[in-house]
């Protein structure tokens, strides 16, 4: 559905993104993750036709962005970082205008309007002037304008920005449900959001794609040790030292509960059996023994804390190896 | 409806809910009405003087005494008022980031510029048509030639169209509406001053060229009732040039 090849965007001497390539398949939800200024918004703006790339090609729904920009624009619903709202119009007037501008037939507008208003809970404010709406409502009106013409592709720049926790959950559910029939590219700085709703995550740093995979695969890919959570009924004396002396155990730390411990083991060596037997033999009373996956936050920090941008996979291997060596 | 007509209707809607439009419209109509009143009072005083001298009713030429003077003065009014109408067109879109919506919609930059220009032109022509109240009322009490008045209105319409295109251009250059208004006024003033500079240089090639580039001589000819194609071509080509430059500026923003 979306095919981006060797995309580069330069603003004078500054390179915002460089040699970015990726594909988004139909019905897929892809999240762009990255620190501020990483190039997420630039990439999205190029996808939507707001700005042309300095180099590279974008093909959306089979149309080249240079040759058929209008065809692409008809098929995209775009929510920019700042919702593009005409303050003096009412929500109803604004959505009608956007629907007509995007090519929606006048006869279809009332039906789509009712659907979008219901999806985004805009009923109570649809005849109010946008200027008088709260930030949360404005964000939802912004999302509504992206959906009003029922585009097959949605590009959403921080769609849950400015919403309260309840609204965030609602919008996440909406995006997930839209993902069944739409192709969605979204950017977010809320990592749990990417984990919760996206099938694939792309981490952008300093204008380069530094990682691209499912959240689960990213977690396992950048894991250098295996972490286990061990909870017992009662803590025997010298418990930490005894655990530390077991084969394959690298480090023992306090867990979230008083009688739980986070145990770091060597990767590739399954220590669960050893730990279970040990806990039972010590009479500690085994309550829980479960693996802890590396969170997306840890992956994100690991990738974006580098000073210099890294290339794709090969550079990663290098970075991973370095970390391996520095490990005690 | 075409994208242009959709955008025009939205722009008109925004104008009609904006206090700026009502303030500008009121000021424009008040000043034009007040100027007309002054001209008529002046013509009345001249009639009384002639009556005292000649001891008989003199036939006053209202075209010369009222309308031509009025059209001369309206030139300045347009110069001050129209930049306020155009200042928000693009500056506000950029400030509120709504331009991102337009540029990611299936509508070309030329259509966006045409729609915005057409909407403000409709507003201006609507306001201008309301000033026709003056000749209509005077026609009840007096007789005068209608043709110079029609060319005078054509002059104001063309002059206004050109000023509006300068305003559209200025509005594409900045996010600040006040700056856009001053910039627009500056562009119009600079073109106006070209005429004065041309006058100083006299009948040289440079002088004639500068005088031609300024709207002063074209406007003067039209309000004197001289309808010449080259004056109309001047206004239309000037308007086209300003809108073309505005198009290039908007397009260049996409690359920045």
Q: What pLDDT is attached to residue A222?
A: 64
Q: What is the CA radius of gyration of chain A?
A: 24
Instruction: Report chain B residues whose CB lies below 8 A from the CB of A98.
Output: 101, 105
Interface test with B, best of A86, A132, A145, A155 (most B CBs within 10 A): A86
Please name the residue that has the structure tokens 């984990």. Answer: A195
Q: CB A80 to CB B100 under 8 A?
A: yes
A66 to chain B, any CB pair closer than 8 A? The answer is: no
Beta-bridge mates of residue A79: A156
Residue A271 CB neighbour total at 10 angstroms: 22
Q: Is the pLDDT of residue A285 over 90?
A: no
| Structure confidence by residue, pLDDT tens digits, A240-250 | 888 888 888 88
CA distance A148 to chain B (A): 13
Instruction: Report chain B residues whose CB lies below 8 A from the CB of A78.
Output: 100-101, 104
Q: How confident is the model at residue B62 (pLDDT cuts 50, 70, 90)?
A: confident
- Mean pLDDT across B123-132: 95
Q: What pLDDT is attached to residue A167?
A: 83
Q: What pLDDT is attached to residue A320?
A: 34
* Burial class of residue A62 in the structure, from the number of CB atoms within 10 Å of its CB (0-12 exposed, 13-18 middle, 19+ buried): exposed
Q: How confident is the model at residue A317 (pLDDT cuts 50, 70, 90)?
A: very low
B101 to chain A, any CB pair closer than 8 A? The answer is: yes
**Kind of pairing, strands A208-213 and A286-292?**
unpaired
Instruction: Report chain B residues whose CB lies below 8 A from the CB of A103.
Output: 106
B58 sits in the region (left: phi over 0; alpha: psi -120 to 50; else beta) called: beta
Cα–Cα distance, B96 to B102 (Å, whole number): 12
Give me the percent of chain B exceeding a pLDDT of 70.
Answer: 98
Please name the residue that has the structure tokens 């054509």. Answer: B154
**Terminal Cα distance for chain B, rounded:** 32
Where are the domains positioned within chain B? 3-255
Q: CB A102 to CB B18 under 8 A?
A: no
Q: CB A97 to CB B6 under 8 A?
A: yes
- Mean pLDDT across B203-228: 90
Supply the pTM of this predicted model.
Answer: 0.81
Q: How confident is the model at residue B58 (pLDDT cuts 50, 70, 90)?
A: low
Q: What pLDDT is attached to residue A129?
A: 94
Residue B24 CB neighbour total at 10 angstroms: 20
Which range, of B137-146, B159-168, B245-254, averages the lowest pLDDT?
B137-146
Q: How confident is the model at residue A298 (pLDDT cuts 50, 70, 90)?
A: low
- Mean pLDDT across B73-97: 93
Question: Considering only alpha carbons, which residue of chain A is nearest residue B2?
Answer: A101
- Mean pLDDT across B69-76: 91
Q: Could you tell me if A1 and A183 are in contact, meaning their C-beta atoms sit under 8 angstroms apart?
A: yes
Q: What pLDDT is attached to residue A299?
A: 67
Q: What pLDDT is attached to residue A189?
A: 74
Q: Is the pLDDT of residue A309 over 80?
A: no
Please name the residue that has the structure tokens 């220590």. Answer: A271
Q: How confident is the model at residue A323 (pLDDT cuts 50, 70, 90)?
A: very low
A49 to chain B, any CB pair closer than 8 A? The answer is: yes
Please name the residue that has the structure tokens 């004639």. Answer: B208
Nearest to A48 among B104, B107, B255 (CB): B104
Q: Is the pLDDT of residue A302 over 70?
A: no
Give me the percent of chain A exceeding a pLDDT of 90.
Answer: 31
B107 to chain A, any CB pair closer than 8 A? The answer is: yes
> What 3-state DSSP class applies to B191?
helix
CA distance A3 to chain B (A): 18
Q: What is the 3-state secondary structure (H, E, C) of B38-77?
A: HHHHHHHHHHHHHHHHHCCCCCCCHHHHHHHHHHHHHHHH
CA distance B212 to chain A (A): 39
* Burial class of residue A32 in the structure, from the number of CB atoms within 10 Å of its CB (0-12 exposed, 13-18 middle, 19+ buried): buried
CA distance A37 to chain B (A): 15
B98 to chain A, any CB pair closer than 8 A? The answer is: yes
B163 to chain A, any CB pair closer than 8 A? The answer is: no
Number of Cβ pairs < 8 A linking chain A and chain B: 69
DSSP assignment of B129-146 equals HHTTHHHHHHHHH----H
- Mean pLDDT across B146-170: 95
Nearest to B1 among A73, A89, A100 (CB): A100
Q: How confident is the model at residue A305 (pLDDT cuts 50, 70, 90)?
A: low
- Mean pLDDT across A187-205: 82
Q: What pLDDT is attached to residue B31?
A: 94
B-contacting residues in A 73-92 (Cβ below 8 Å) = 73-74, 76, 78, 80, 82, 84-89
Question: Considering only alpha carbons, which residue of chain A is nearest residue B19?
Answer: A88
Give me the percent of chain B exceeding a pLDDT of 90.
Answer: 66
Q: Could you tell me if A141 and A133 are in contact, meaning their C-beta atoms sit under 8 angstroms apart?
A: yes
Q: What pLDDT is attached to residue A327?
A: 36
Q: Is the pLDDT of residue B77 over 80?
A: yes
Mean pLDDT of chain B: 91
Q: Is the pLDDT of residue A308 over 50?
A: no
Cα–Cα distance, B146 to B156 (Å, whole number): 15
- Mean pLDDT across B134-163: 91
Interface test with B, best of A45, A79, A97, A109 (most B CBs within 10 A): A97
Question: What crossing angle do the helices spanning B133-141 and B19-54 adopt, rounded to 10°?
Answer: 30
Question: Considering only alpha carbons, which residue of chain B is nearest residue A80?
Answer: B100
| Structure confidence by residue, pLDDT tens digits, B183-198 | 999 999 999 999 889 8
Q: CB A93 to CB B103 under 8 A?
A: no
Instruction: Report chain A residues whose CB lies below 8 A from the CB of B20.
Output: none
Q: What pLDDT is attached to residue A313?
A: 40
Q: What pLDDT is attached to residue B156?
A: 95
Backbone torsions φ then ψ of A194, nearest 5 degrees: -60, -40
Q: How confident is the model at residue A297 (pLDDT cuts 50, 70, 90)?
A: low
Question: Considering only alpha carbons, which residue of chain B is nearest residue A81?
Answer: B97
Q: Is the pLDDT of residue B13 over 50?
A: yes
Cα–Cα distance, A169 to A175 (Å, whole number): 10
Nearest to B256 among A11, A74, A78 (CB): A11
- Which two structure tokens, joined as six digits, stand for A96? 């009608």
Separation in Å, CA A147 to CA A1, A77, A200, A327: 18, 6, 22, 49
- Mean pLDDT across A88-104: 94
Mean pLDDT of chain A: 83
Closest CA to A154 of A171, A170, A169, A167: A171
Q: CB A82 to CB B97 under 8 A?
A: yes
Instruction: Report chain B residues whose CB lies below 8 A from the CB of A86.
Output: 10, 14, 96, 98
Closest CA to A226 of A286, A276, A278, A290: A290
Better-predicted residue by pLDDT, A316 or A98: A98
Nearest to B6 among A86, A100, A145 (CB): A100
Q: How confident is the model at residue A263 (pLDDT cuts 50, 70, 90)?
A: confident
Instruction: Report chain B residues whose CB lies below 8 A from the CB of A82.
Output: 97, 100
- Which two structure tokens, joined as six digits, stand for A173? 């559910």
Q: What pLDDT is attached to residue A190?
A: 73
Nearest to B17 among A73, A88, A98 (CB): A88
Q: What pLDDT is attached to residue A318?
A: 33
Q: CB A89 to CB B14 under 8 A?
A: yes
- Mean pLDDT across A189-211: 82
**Terminal Cα distance for chain A, rounded:** 46
Instruction: Report chain A residues whose CB lies below 8 A from the CB of B100.
Output: 45, 50, 78, 80, 82, 84
| Structure confidence by residue, pLDDT tens digits, A99-158 | 999 999 999 999 999 999 998 889 999 999 999 998 889 999 999 999 999 999 999 998
Separation in Å, CA A27 to CA A87, A104, A186, B154: 33, 22, 13, 58
Q: Could you tell me if A224 and A267 are in contact, meaning their C-beta atoms sit under 8 angstroms apart?
A: yes
Backbone torsions φ then ψ of A52, nearest 5 degrees: -85, 155
- Mean pLDDT across B41-59: 78
Q: Is the pLDDT of residue B235 over 90?
A: yes
Q: CB B105 to CB A93 under 8 A?
A: no
Q: What is the 3-state secondary structure (H, E, C) of chain A?
A: CEEEEEEEEEECCEEEEEEEEEEECCCCEEEEECCCCCCHHHHHHHHHCCCCCCEEEEEECCEECCCCHHHHHHCEEEECCCCCCCCCCEHHHHHHHHHHHCCCCHHHHHHHHHHHHHHCCCHHHCCCEHHHCCHHHHHHHHHHHHHCCCCCEEEEECCCCCCCHHHHHHHHHHHHHHHCCCEEEEEECCHHHHHHHCCEEEEEECCEEEEEECHHHHHHHCCCEEEEEEEECCCCCCHHHHHHCCCCEEEEEECCCCCEEEEEEECCCCCHHHHHHHHHHCCCCEEEEEEECCCHHHHHHHHHCCCCCCCCHHHHHHHHHHHHHHCC
Q: CB B105 to CB A102 under 8 A?
A: yes
């Amino acid at each position: 559905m979306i095919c981006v090849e060797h995309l580069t965007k330069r603003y004078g001497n500054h390179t915002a993104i460089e040699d970015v390539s990726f594909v988004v398949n139909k019905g897929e939800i892809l999240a762009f993750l990255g620190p501020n200024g990483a190039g997420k918004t630039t990439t999205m703006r190029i996808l939507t036709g707001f700005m042309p790339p300095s180099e590279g090609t974008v093909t959306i729904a089979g149309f080249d962005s240079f040759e058929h920009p209008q065809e692409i624009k008809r098929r995209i619903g775009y929510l920019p970082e700042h919702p593009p709202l005409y303050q003096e119009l009412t929500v109803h007037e604004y959505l009608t205008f956007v629907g007509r501008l995007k090519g929606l037939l006048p006869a279809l507008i009332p039906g789509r309007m009712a659907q979008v208003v219901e999806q985004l809970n805009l009923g109570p404010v649809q005849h109010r002037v946008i200027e008088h709406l709260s930030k949360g409502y404005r964000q939802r009106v912004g999302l509504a304008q992206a959906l009003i013409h029922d585009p097959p592709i949605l590009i959403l720049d921080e769609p849950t920005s400015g919403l309260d926790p309840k609204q965030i959950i609602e919008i996440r559910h909406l995006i997930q449900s839209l993902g069944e029939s739409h192709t969605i590219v979204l950017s977010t700085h809320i990592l749990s959001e990417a984990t919760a709703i996206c099938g694939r995550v792309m981490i952008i740093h300093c204008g380069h794609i530094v990682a691209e995979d499912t959240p689960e695969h990213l977690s396992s890919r950048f894991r250098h040790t295996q972490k286990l959570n061990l909870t017992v009924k009662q803590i025997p004396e010298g418990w930490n030292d005894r655990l530390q002396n077991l084969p394959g155990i690298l480090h023992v730390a306090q867990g979230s509960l008083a009688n739980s411990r986070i145990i770091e083991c060597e990767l590739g060596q399954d220590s669960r059996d050893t730990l279970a037997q040990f806990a039972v033999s010590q009479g500690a009373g085994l309550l829980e023994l479960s693996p802890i996956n590396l969170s997306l936050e840890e992956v994100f920090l690991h990738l974006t804390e580098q000073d210099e941008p890294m290339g794709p996979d090969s550079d990663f291997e290098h970075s991973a190896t370095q970390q391996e060596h520095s490990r005690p | 409806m075409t994208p242009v007509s959709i955008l025009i209707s939205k722009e008109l809607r925004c104008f009609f809910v904006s206090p700026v439009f009502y303030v500008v419209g009121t000021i424009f109509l008040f000043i034009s009405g007040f100027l007309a009143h002054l001209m008529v009072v002046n013509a009345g005083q001249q009639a009384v003087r002639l009556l005292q001298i000649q001891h008989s009713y003199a036939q006053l030429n209202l075209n010369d005494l009222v309308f031509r003077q009025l059209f001369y003065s309206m030139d300045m009014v347009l110069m001050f008022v129209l930049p306020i109408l155009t200042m928000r067109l693009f500056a506000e879109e950029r400030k509120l980031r709504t331009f991102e919506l337009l540029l990611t919609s299936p509508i070309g930059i030329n259509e966006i510029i045409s729609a915005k220009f057409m909407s403000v032109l409709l507003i201006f022509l609507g306001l201008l048509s309301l000033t026709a109240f003056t000749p209509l009322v005077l026609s009840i009490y007096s007789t005068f030639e209608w043709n110079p008045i029609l060319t005078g209105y054509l002059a104001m319409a063309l002059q206004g169209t050109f000023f509006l295109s300068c305003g559209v251009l200025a509005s594409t250059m900045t996010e600040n509406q006040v700056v856009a208004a001053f910039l627009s006024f500056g562009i119009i003033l600079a073109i106006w001053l070209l005429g004065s500079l041309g006058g100083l240089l006299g009948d040289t090639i440079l002088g004639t060229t500068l005088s031609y580039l300024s709207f002063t001589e074209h406007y003067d000819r039209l309000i004197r009732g001289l309808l010449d194609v080259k004056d109309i071509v001047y206004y239309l080509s000037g308007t086209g040039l300003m809108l073309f430059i505005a198009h290039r500026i908007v397009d260049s923003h996409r690359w920045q």
